[in-house]
Amino acid sequence: QKPYVFITRKLPDETLVELNQIAEVKMWPHEEEAVPRDVLLAEARKADGLLTMLSDNFDAELLQQASSLKVVANLAVGYDNIDIKTASNLGITVCNTPDVLTDSTADLAFSLILATARRIVESANYVKEGKWNSWGPLLLAGADVHHKTIGIVGMGRIGEAVARRAKGFDMKILYHNRNRKPEAEVSLNAEYKDFHELLKQSDFVVSLAPLTAETKGMFNREAFQSMKESAIFINVGRGAAVDESALIEALQNKTIAGAGLDVFEKEPIDPKHSLLMMKQVVALPHIGSASVETRMKMAELACRNIVNILNGKEPETPVT
Which residues are known catalytic residues? Answer: 238, 267, 286
**Window 270-289: contact mask with ligand GLV (x via CB under 6 A):** ------------------xx
Nearer to ligand GLV, 77 or 145 (CB): 77
Nearer to ligand GLV, 49 or 98 (CB): 98
- Measured distance CA(319)–CA(317) in Å, rounded: 6
Which of 78, 151, 258, 315 touches ligand GLV by CB under 6 A? 78
Smallest distance, ligand GLV to C-beta of residue 279, A:
26
Q: What is the CB neighbour count within 10 angstroms for residue 141?
A: 9
- Measured distance CA(98)–CA(49) in Å, rounded: 19
Nearer to ligand GLV, 96 or 226 (CB): 96
- Measured distance CA(156)–CA(162) in Å, rounded: 10
**Total chain residues near ligand GLV (CB under 6 A):** 14
Residue 54 in the binding site for ligand GLV (CB under 6 A): yes
Q: What is the DSSP string of 215-236?
A: TTT-B-HHHHHHS-TT-EEEE-
Nearer to ligand GLV, 97 or 226 (CB): 97
Residue 77 in the binding site for ligand GLV (CB under 6 A): yes
Nearer to ligand GLV, 111 or 289 (CB): 289
Residue 159 in the binding site for ligand GLV (CB under 6 A): yes
Task: Find the helix or strand (DSSP H, E) in which 209 lies.
Answer: none
Phi, psi of 238, rounded to the nearest 5 degrees: -135, 140
Smallest distance, ligand GLV to C-beta of residue 118, A:
24
Residue 112 in the binding site for ligand GLV (CB under 6 A): no
Q: Could you tell me which residues are beta bridge partners of residue 190?
A: 173
Peptide bond into 210 cis (omega under 30): no
Stretch that binds ligand GLV, among 151-159, 190-198, 240-248, 301-309 (CB under 6 A): 151-159
Q: Which regions of 35-109 does DSSP assign to beta strands (E)?
A: 49-52, 71-74, 93-95
Query: 247-275: buried (b, 16+ CB within 10 Å) or exposed (e) per residue?
Result: bbebbeeebbbbbbbbbbbeeebeeebeb
Which of 52, 15, 16 is CA-nearest to residue 34? 52
Smallest distance, ligand GLV to C-beta of residue 237, A:
8
- Measured distance CA(143)–CA(202) in Å, rounded: 14
Residue 156 in the binding site for ligand GLV (CB under 6 A): yes
Q: Is the dihedral of CA 159, 298, 59, 310 positive or negative?
A: negative
Smallest distance, ligand GLV to C-beta of residue 309, A:
20
Helix (H, G, I), strand (E, B) or coil at 108: helix
Smallest distance, ligand GLV to C-beta of residue 255, A:
27
Stretch that binds ligand GLV, among 1-9, 61-69, 98-106, 121-129 (CB under 6 A): 98-106
Residue 302 in the binding site for ligand GLV (CB under 6 A): no
Which of 3, 49, 98, 260 touches ligand GLV by CB under 6 A? 98
Nearer to ligand GLV, 54 or 240 (CB): 54
Residues that bind ligand GLV (CB under 6 A): 54, 76-78, 98, 101-102, 156-159, 208, 288-289
